[in-house]
């Protein structure tokens, strides 16, 4: 058998790809985590080997530049290997055994793969959150076939990644249908309403994510949508930080909010600064010196950025400064010039469009008079993927109070680090309260990403031969299990 | 401070109760798991001490009988103690530490209490899934204040439980607002749309659960609804089982589907039997001998049962037999007589209203010609809380194939045990695919119930003094933590 990766571009072809995914579901789920890890490692190796061509194709389609893109290819391969390792470690299965005890029966629980998962690739990370990114990697690791709807901004990258993966999967004997691809709006719609799809993973705009979420909620059998959507990520500069290192903060902030032409879901969108700190002027200066603007991913995204800036100024934000879009970029389509805007904190305390996301290289300074006003602004914010504090160092007394306040609105809290940059590790959480995600407990990056694509099943009085292997008294794999209430971790043998 | 337990019965009074819950949220979340365990244990002790009066009041309101009700009071107390122990054990926090390593920063993750939780009590379990049942116990254990909307079928039981809990909580110094109560339809609606409510837990009908789910989805800030809804739970009798012990199966089945006048969400609703097994006749005989029917919880529920029976027969199910409702019960309001219905498998293969839930003491026999037909019926079923196999013993070759098939549709699979009866243990899962629950990965019973009321937060580069205690390098509590990828379990000291 060979692994299928048909690029369906019509609802009819979705049927073909989904039929293959459905047919593969039982085998993918029943494969051991080690087997699935081999599949992921094979894909990772082939992706790495193709870095030059992938970078070339993606740069033509996105303009994100070879340095950024080749680095993202490497990270994509690392992510696939990470999810392979997480699958093998086995904690995500939550294997739990309660032997019969007096009145309670023999009960055993494990997480089970849901079935075919639809992944909607992001515009801004063709490798990290695209065809073979975090969603696809974690779903395959958890035992689900995946059908990816590629983002229209980079169809050739999508096709190339699917081809690479199909060859790698075929080489290591993965079942046909373990990974498939579709393209186009109609195909995406057909995918979400397809009876055999069991979950949807999405990275992108609030508009797109909420549309998918509504569509999934309107199904006869409602399925979970894990939509990781853009948010306004706030960063608070404490008075001590502003006093000690305004220049450094301004430079760092410009680097963060203009990274990838501001097209990161973790872009800082609000910078809360003490009034009169002079950080606004320093930001404008840093912007002129460092960030030439650039080409956004698509004309529509560039037009959305312009409309967003107009909305922010209409809502009362003052333009402190704009970058030069750069000669080449300005002449090209989809050009965008970075911008620094400002509002007094007092103007947003009863809610304001200034507090809503504008996708692109813009940051809004919110100047607060004192701690009370700063805290009131924080109480007005929407849920966010990430929130940060820039401190005056270890003795800055503001940090201990700010961290829990920010944790109440965000999925990740950083101190003295800009929010852009999401490491794929065991402790990572890339999610956050509504509307950052449609499911505030789920993450699209890190070890916990696998469990999105599973649900627990309890087995009561089931004879050994009919139990999943990981729930038998003698488990064939060295995984952590909870036995009669006690967590038992296998000894490290390496 | 004393613990508040106002019984609000209007939207205005909901404001008062919610204000207390909101004010308590930070303190409840910041209390150590051991402290919250003390609160739960204090409530458990007072509930147990009041078993006679609680039983008396609940029996007046529900007619479920003193034996069942006093047993349920004991289980309620045991549940509260179980969630206390789970909170202290600490695995649910998923404390994870990744020290900085090359390119990756210091990242630490923990689950954080969501905030005030609205619990909607069930009609059928005034203690197990009511004011102080599994939902309330697990939410308090996880660090969330709880506001319970009592079921209209037992308002006095609700009030008594709230009073008991308030006294217990006050005695051990829990903050005011940790537990509150409301009553009435309007109050329930106001609760779900209240801005400070962060999650909803519900046990009851699909109609009720879906209404709440829709309401929560229509909020500005959408919140998770964990609705555990009624389902048609299938039990498959294998040919070997039918041949070996038809009589025993018939008796056991009648005991299970008439338990509590059929008012269990885990009631077997479909019994798949080999055609010609004679189990139908035996069921009718067992029914006449053993189950006199009885009083249902409310007139509306009894009327719903009658309508449900009419729907089943209109859809083609044949009545094999009905029990006598019992002299006293038949004369009373809300009387219900148990019923055994039957359809050939061939009539449900393209979907049928026979496969939809009827709440009450009825079971539908589906007679299958052979394994292929049986498997096709299983492929037509909705998601269910639980599904079972009655086998012919350890050598019955059908079991190994049936268990994974049933695991694909149900949250729990039993072998040679009737589905009614849900033990509160580490391995329990009481949930299931849509429409069994609105969130197929969540359970309302067992250790995993806590995580519903939490969401993870990652801390990046946060100094020790600003970290939650469980994420500091030196953790003050002996809880399992994952450190640099390795799960570390504290040694048992007892």
Looking at residue B154, what is its pLDDT? 94
CA Rg value for chain B: 24
Residue range(s) in chain A whose domain bears CATH number 3.40.605.10: 7-230+441-457+465-471
Dist. CA B107–CA B462, nearest whole Å? 8
What pLDDT, on a 0 to 100 scale, did the predictor assign at position B132? 97
Cβ neighbours of A89 in B, within 8 Å: 485
Query: What distances in angstroms separate CA A178 from CA A76, A168, A173, A385, B219, one per listed residue?
Result: 18, 12, 11, 31, 37
A478 backbone dihedrals φ, ψ, rounded to 5°? -85, 80
Q: Please report the residues numbered 339 through 398 in chain A whose beta carbons come closer than 8 angstroms to any beta carbon of chain B.
A: 383, 394
Q: Which fold has domain A233-415?
A: Aldehyde Dehydrogenase; Chain A, domain 2 (3.40.309)
Please report which helix (H) or strand (E) contains residue A47, including its range: helix A33-49
Q: Are B123 and B205 in contact (CB under 8 A)?
A: no
B104 and chain A: CB distance < 8 Å anywhere? yes
| SS3 labels along chain B | CCCCCCEECCHHHHHHHHHHHHHHHHHHHHCCHHHHHHHHHHHHHHHHHCHHHHHHHHHHHHCCCHHHHHHHHHHHHHHHHHHHHHHHHCHHHCCEEECCECCECCEEEEEEECCCEEEECCCCCCCCCCCCCHHHHHHHHHCCCEEEECCCCCHHHHHHHHHHHHHHHHHCCCCCCCEEEECCHHHHHHHHHCCCCCEEEEEECHHHHHHHHHHHHCCCCCCCEEEEECCCEEEEECHHHHHHHHHHHHHHHHHHHCHHHHCCCCCEEEEEEECCCCHHHHHHHHHHHHCCCEECCCHHHHHHHHHHHHHHHHCCCEEEEECCCCHHHHHCCCEECCEEEEEEHHHHCCCCHHHCCCCCCEEEEEEECCHHHHHHHHHHCCCEEEEEEECCCCCCCHHHHHHHHHHCCEEEEEECCCCCCCCCCCCCCCCCCCCCECCCCCCCCCHHHHHHHEEEEEEECCCHHHCCHHHCCCCCCCCCEEECCEEECCCCCC
Q: Are B404 and B410 in contact (CB under 8 A)?
A: no
Token pair, residue A446, equals 């890190």
Question: Quick check: B107 and A492 CB within 8 A?
Answer: no
A7-230+441-457+465-471 classified as CATH 3.40.50.2000: no
Rounded to a whole number, what is the distance in Å from the CA of A320 to chain B's nearest CA? 30
Question: Which pLDDT belongs to residue B2?
Answer: 37
d(CA A285, CA A259): 17
- How many Cα atoms sit within 13 Å of B187 on the Cβ side? 26
3-state secondary structure A259-288: HHHHCCCCCEEEEEEECCCCHHHHHHHHHH
Query: What is the least distance, in Å, from the CA of A66 to any CA of chain B?
Result: 20
Q: Find the closest chain A residue to B457 by CA distance.
A: A411
- Cα separation, A137 vs B461, whole angstroms: 27
Residue B398: closest CA among chain A residues belongs to which residue? Answer: A466
Q: Do A415 and B466 touch (CB under 8 A)?
A: yes
**What does the pLDDT read at residue A329?**
56
Residue A88 sits at φ, ψ, to 5 deg, of: -70, -40
Q: Two tokens at B86?
A: 């789970």
Nearest-neighbour CA in chain A from B286: distance (Å)? 25
Inter-chain contact A459–B403, Cβ cutoff 8 Å?
yes
Residues β-bridged to residue B8? B182
Does residue A435 have a cis peptide bond before it, meaning omega lies within 30 degrees of 0? yes
Vertex B325, ends B323 and B331: CA angle to 5°? 160
Q: Tokens 């069942």: give the residue.
A: B68
Nearest to A3 by CA among A179, A158, A160, A143: A179
Which DSSP string corresponds to A136-172? HHHHHHHT--EEEE--TT-HHHHHHHHHHHHHHHHHT
pLDDT tens column, A416-427: 999 999 999 999
A300/A302 Cα distance (integer angstroms): 5
A324 touches chain B (CB under 8 A): no
Predicted confidence pLDDT, tens digits, chain B (494 residues): 334 445 666 777 899 999 999 999 999 999 999 999 999 999 999 999 999 999 999 999 998 999 999 999 999 999 999 999 999 999 999 999 999 999 899 999 999 999 999 999 999 899 999 899 999 999 999 999 999 999 999 999 999 999 999 999 999 999 999 999 999 999 999 999 999 999 999 998 999 999 999 999 999 999 999 999 988 999 999 999 999 999 999 999 999 999 888 999 999 999 999 999 999 999 999 988 765 568 888 888 999 999 999 999 999 999 999 987 665 555 666 788 999 999 999 999 888 888 888 999 999 999 999 999 999 999 999 999 999 999 999 999 999 999 999 999 999 999 999 999 899 999 999 999 999 999 999 999 999 999 999 999 999 999 999 999 999 999 989 999 999 999 999 986 55
Chain A residues with CB-CB distance to B397 below 8 A: none
Residue from A89, A228, A367, A373 carrying the catalytic annotation: A228
Mutate to test the interface with B, among A394, A455, A490 (most CBs of B within 10 A): A455
Interface residue B259 vs chain A (CB under 8 A) = no
Put simply, the answer to whether A459 touches B94 (Cβ < 8 Å) is no
A32 interface with B at CB cutoff 8 Å: no
**Residue A438, beta-bridge partner list:** none
What pLDDT, on the 0 to 100 scale, is given for residue B493?
56
In the Cβ-directed half-sphere of A357, how many Cα atoms lie within 13 Å? 25
Q: In the prediction, which pLDDT does B476 show?
A: 87
* CB of B347 closer than 8 Å to CB of B354: yes
- Cα within 13 Å of Cα(A428), Cβ side: 24
Please give the backbone phi and psi of residue A310, each rounded to the nearest 5 degrees, phi first: -60, -40
* Secondary structure of residue A203 in the 3-state scheme: strand
Asked if B228 is an active-site residue, the reply is yes
| Secondary element (H or E) of residue A475 | none
- Are the CB atoms for A58 and A69 separated by under 8 Å? yes
Chain B residues with beta carbon closer than 8 angstroms to that of A215: none
In chain B, the N- to C-terminal Cα span, in Å, equals: 35
- The pTM of this model reads 0.95
Q: Which site among B209, B457, B464, B465 would you substitute to test the A interface, given the most A Cβ atoms closer than 10 Å to its Cβ?
A: B457
DSSP A470: G
Query: Cβ contacts of residue A53 below 8 Å, gap of 6+?
Result: A160
Chain A residues closer than 8 Å to B104 by CB? 423, 425
Contact of B193 with B83, CB cutoff 8 Å: no
To which H or E segment does residue A249 belong?
A: helix A239-257
Task: List alpha helices for A315-446, DSSP H.
Answer: 327-331, 371-380, 398-407
3-state secondary structure of A387: strand
Is A410:B457 a contact under the CB 8 Å cutoff? yes
Instruction: Give chain A's length.
Output: 494
Rounded Cα distance between B147 and B190, Å, is 12
Answer whether B431's CB lies under 8 Å from B442's CB: yes
Torsion over CA of A424, A429, A430 and A435, rounded to 10 degrees?
Answer: 170
Q: What is the Cα Rg of chain A in Å?
A: 24
| Range list for CATH 3.40.309.10 in chain A | 233-415
- Closest residue in B to A460 (Cα) is B414
How many beta-carbon contacts under 8 Å exist across A and B?
A: 217
Q: Chain B contacts of A394, Cβ < 8 Å?
A: 463
Query: Closest Cα partner for B150 from B47, B267, B8, B283?
Result: B8
d(CA A272, CA A364): 8
CB A109 within 8 A of CB A459: yes
Closest CB from B446, B457, B462 relative to A429: B457
Which pLDDT score is estimated for B1? 33
Q: Could you give the C-alpha distances from B188 to A78, B96, B193, B476, in angstroms and in order?
A: 49, 37, 9, 40
Whether the Cβ atoms of residue B358 and residue B313 lie closer than 8 Å to each other: no
Structure tokens at B154: 């037992």
CA distance B449 to A219: 26
- Residues of chain B in contact with residue A439, where contact means CB-CB under 8 angstroms, are 224
Active-site residue flag, B373:
no
- Whether cis (ω within 30° of 0) applies to the bond prior to B435 is yes
CA distances from B36 to A67, B113, B169, B436 (A): 52, 12, 10, 30
Listed residue (A346, A347, A368, A364) closest to A356, CA to CA: A364
Q: Does B464 touch chain A (CB under 8 A)?
A: no
Cβ-defined contact of B441 to A454 (cutoff 8 Å) = yes
Query: Residue B53 CB: number of other CB atoms within 10 A?
Result: 12
Six-digit token pair at A134? 């975090």
| Spatial CA neighbour of A447 closest among B439, B93, B482, B87 | B482
Q: What is the pLDDT along chain A (494 residues), one digit of tens a residue?
A: 334 445 666 777 899 999 999 999 999 999 999 999 999 999 999 999 999 999 999 999 998 999 999 999 999 999 999 999 999 999 999 999 999 999 899 999 999 999 999 999 999 899 999 899 999 999 999 999 999 999 999 999 999 999 999 999 999 999 999 999 999 999 999 999 999 999 999 998 999 999 999 999 999 999 999 999 988 999 999 999 999 999 999 999 999 999 888 999 999 999 999 999 999 999 999 988 765 568 888 888 999 999 999 999 999 999 999 987 665 555 666 788 999 999 999 999 988 888 888 999 999 999 999 999 999 999 999 999 999 999 999 999 999 999 999 999 999 999 999 999 999 999 999 999 999 999 999 999 999 999 999 999 999 999 999 999 999 999 989 999 999 999 999 986 55
B7-229+441-457+465-471 CATH choice from 3.30.950.10, 1.10.1040.10, 3.40.50.20, 3.40.605.10 = 3.40.605.10
Question: Which residues, 6+ apart, have CB-to-CB distance to A134 below 8 Å?
Answer: A79, A83, A128, A424, A430, A444, A445, A449
Sign of CA dihedral A359, A364, A368, A373: negative
Q: Does B460 touch chain A (CB under 8 A)?
A: yes
- In the three-class reduction of DSSP (H, G, I as helix; E, B as strand; rest coil), residue A50 is classed as coil
> How many C-alpha atoms does A158 have within 13 Å on its Cβ side?
28
């Amino acid at each position: 058998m060979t692994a299928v990766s048909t690029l369906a571009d019509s609802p009819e072809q979705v049927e073909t790809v989904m039929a293959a995914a459905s047919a593969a579901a039982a085998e993918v789920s029943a494969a051991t985590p080690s087997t699935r890890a081999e599949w992921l490692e094979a894909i990772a190796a082939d992706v790495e080997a193709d870095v030059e061509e992938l970078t070339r194709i993606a740069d033509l389609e996105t303009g994100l530049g070879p340095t950024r893109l080749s680095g993202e290819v490497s990270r994509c391969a690392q992510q696939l290997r990470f999810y392979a390792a997480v699958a093998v470690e086995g904690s995500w299965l939550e294997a739990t055994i309660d032997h019969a005890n007096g009145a309670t029966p023999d009960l055993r629980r494990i997480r089970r793969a849901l079935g075919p998962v639809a992944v909607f690739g992001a515009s801004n990370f063709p490798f990290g959150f695209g065809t073979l990114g975090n969603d696809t990697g974690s779903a395959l690791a958890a035992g689900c076939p995946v059908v990816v709807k590629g983002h229209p901004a980079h169809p050739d990258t999508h096709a190339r990644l699917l081809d690479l993966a199909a060859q790698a999967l075929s080489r290591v004997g993965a079942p046909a249908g373990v990974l498939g691809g579709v393209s186009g709006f109609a195909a995406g719609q057909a995918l979400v309403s397809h009876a055999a799809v069991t979950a949807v993973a999405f990275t992108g705009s609030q508009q797109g994510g909420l549309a998918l979420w509504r569509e999934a909620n309107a199904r006869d059998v409602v399925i979970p949508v894990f939509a990781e959507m853009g948010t306004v990520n706030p960063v608070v500069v404490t008075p001590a930080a502003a006093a000690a290192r305004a220049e450094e903060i301004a430079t760092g902030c410009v680097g963060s909010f203009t990274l990838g032409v501001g097209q990161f879901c973790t872009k800082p969108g609000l910078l809360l600064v003490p009034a009169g700190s002079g950080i606004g002027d320093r930001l404008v200066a840093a912007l002129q010196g460092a960030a030439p603007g650039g080409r956004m991913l698509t004309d529509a995204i560039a037009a959305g950025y312009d409309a967003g800036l107009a909305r922010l100024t209409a809502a009362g934000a003052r333009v402190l400064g704009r970058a030069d879009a750069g000669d080449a970029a300005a002449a090209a389509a989809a050009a965008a010039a970075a911008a620094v805007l400002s509002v007094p904190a007092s103007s947003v305390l009863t809610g304001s469009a200034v507090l809503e996301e504008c996708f692109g290289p813009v940051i809004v300074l919110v100047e607060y008079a004192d701690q009370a006003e700063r805290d009131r602004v924080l109480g007005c914010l929407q849920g966010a993927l990430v929130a940060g504090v820039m401190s005056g160092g270890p003795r800055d007394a503001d940090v201990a109070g700010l961290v829990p306040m920010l944790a109440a609105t965000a999925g990740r809290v950083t101190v003295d680090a800009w929010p852009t940059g999401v490491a794929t590790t065991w402790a990572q959480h890339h999610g956050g309260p509504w509307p950052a995600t449609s499911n505030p407990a789920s993450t699209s990056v890190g070890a916990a990403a696998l469990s999105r694509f599973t649900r627990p099943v309890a087995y009561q009085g089931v004879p050994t031969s009919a139990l999943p292997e990981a729930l038998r008294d003698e488990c064939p794999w060295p995984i952590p299990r909870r036995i009669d209430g006690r967590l038992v971790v296998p000894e490290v043998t390496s």
